[in-house]
Structure 1
Amino acid sequence: MNKESSLSLQAIQETVADLLLNRDQIIPNAMFAGDFAINAERLRIYRGNLHAVWINALRNAYPVICRLVGDAFFEQLSILYGHRFPSQSGDLNVFGQDFAKFLQDEASVSEFPYFSAVAALEWQQHLAYYSADFDALDLMNFLSTAGENAAQYAFEFHPAVALVQADFAAVQICLAHRGEQVQALDIPLNTTSYALVSRKDWRVELTQLSQAEYIALQALRAGSSLGMALERALELGSEIDFEFDIATALQHWFQRGIFIEFRCKD
């Protein structure tokens, strides 16, 4: 750094940031002493490190998108994203919060409109991992307390829980890519899908839901009693001609640790 520079610290920081983000930016002689070529090479290294941080942060949050597009193209998308959505926080875990919006608008992936839905679902799983921790409510504990009045109780959800409705088969795509071998999909990509994102013992789980089960959980999350939520799910089940198994659904919900408190509505 040129000791004779009279630039303020803020001006220096802003200029260096511009140099890192824009490789065509001219290096000001007033700021850097020494050989121009050496300074340019040092900035290239710093810029490469910045890109690596972007790529690694996004790859951590979006492993399925990375697998869908391949490592090389994912790196290009990550760099484009970093330029369009500069980090607003010192916490890299929130850097990718606009990636679904980015994919929705990015011309190079316009032929794959489901990418945005997959990314939105992956982001909910990412958030679930970093959510606050609470002890999950046990089904037997709830039933022993509520007894015959169980239908009158409402629940508080674990902060890691998310309910997701996607216009595409985002849930099936994510589930198909979670193992070493990608599983083939047997449904059209534009199929609406529903998911429960949960975390138990610090393990994030993605569960595909039926539409009726999704509606029941949405009602519970909005404060409805268990009885009202299940009644709505049963009504929907009869409308679209499938059975909603209450006992199985309750077991699955409690097994995934999605509730932390309960209270009687009446």
Structure 2
Amino acid sequence: MTRIKSAVEDTLPDGVFWVVRSIYGVVSPNKETSIVVPHDGLWLVVDIKGGEYLTPSPKRASWPELVDGKIFDKYTLEGFAEVEPNDIVFDIGAFVGGFSRPAAKNCKHVVCIEPDPKNKKALEYNLNEGNEEIVRSVAWKDETDIELQLGHDPTDHSVLSADDGGTGRSIEVKARTIDDLAAERGIDTIDFLKIDAEGAEPEVLSGIEETEVKKIAVDCSFEREGEATFEEIEQILQQRGFATRRSGEVLFGRLKPESTAD
């Protein structure tokens, strides 16, 4: 039933969906936890519990995680891979800040990599700790121009194929390696690296040869042409000296004390 509901939502233009949702909110006010209004070409979500944030779409996948902290919790593992006060954090696939916003409250500096211009615009609005940096780019195995395939859901854009089947549209984006992104900022060690690359996680890791990474969280779910990347990512991490643990869709790694970057 949930899949049917999601498929129907995907077929509705954002404006139509917003009208339907607004009517539903009037009819069933006790079931709604936020108010959504158009704002500067995007959508402003005001949560009744407090807080607001900007999102590229009013649909289901774009809102609760910024307020309830579930995305941050998804990418941290207590006692093994946590964001700490002096950490330099890289957020690959930052979307609208579900991970970056709470991370910024707990770390020294966070670099957010997000290729989609609407998502980046929302990200700029949502991050306000003053220790964030946003780069519009794809993290990749080398530096090149690459096509970003656009999904119906803005969380599903991918350099492979969009997870939801896609809209048939794409935009050209500059692809960079994490090594280059770190080096140009004078960073030789990333304390915490979060990766959600919609199936392109192996290519992202291929772009790390010089930079030391101490803790890592990689979304390995079924997004690489319908396949998961757990085995491949775990092999890469273990070869690089990481102890690994899995929780849900995420593979965590922590560099062993005796290991150094290759």
Same fold (TM > 0.5): no
Report which of the two has the higher share of strand: 2
Q: Which has the higher contact order (CA 8 A, sep 6+)?
A: 1
Report which of the two has the higher share of helix: 1
